Structure 1
């Protein structure tokens, strides 16, 4: 059965909740009403995560003077 909707405190907690919902729904043991509630909660979590990612991208643009630059990782060899 779907858990009660929780307010996600962070991107990471929302992502963890979303992964739990996906696993529960993929199990196939969830009744229809529970699946619908989980689907609704999942879409809300996705919107939350997308907003957090958009905010982070905007912050990066500001930090990089409105120009996103490719990430160059140092060679670890």
Structure 2
């Protein structure tokens, strides 16, 4: 597992570590206490991925297109 705080991870970093966590849990060769820690870390990573995806969706939704289908500007997105 990474030493990086989940709150500081990019989407790609969080997703890559989440995949590692899931792989370890699926193998089932981890002690119970370690499994619990992995599950907790996985839950944090999942929440981070979801937050970053929502943020990206809001940014994309804020782009407006002109009559030619070209971006014509950005609408302010609350909280960004």
TM-score (norm 1): 0.73
Distance 2:51 2:22 in 1: 20
Summarize the alignment of residues 1-77 of structure 1 with structure 2, pairs less than 5 Å apart. 3=1, 6-8=4-6, 9-64=9-64
Equivalent position SS for 2:34: helix
Task: In structure 1, list runs of 5 or more residues that go unmatched.
Answer: 66-77
RMSD of aligned C-alpha atoms?
Answer: 1.7
Alpha carbons of 1:28 and 1:48: their partners in 2 closer, same or farther (altered >3 Å)? same
* Runs of 4+ more than 6 Å apart: none
Q: Distance in 2 between matches of 1:28 and 1:36?
A: 12
Determine which structure has the larger strand proportion and give its number: 2
Cα offsets for 1:14-70 (capped at 9, x unmatched): 0000000011111111001100000000000000000000000000110137xxxxx
Q: How many residues end up aligned between the 2 structures?
A: 63
Using the size of structure 2 for normalisation, the TM-score is: 0.71
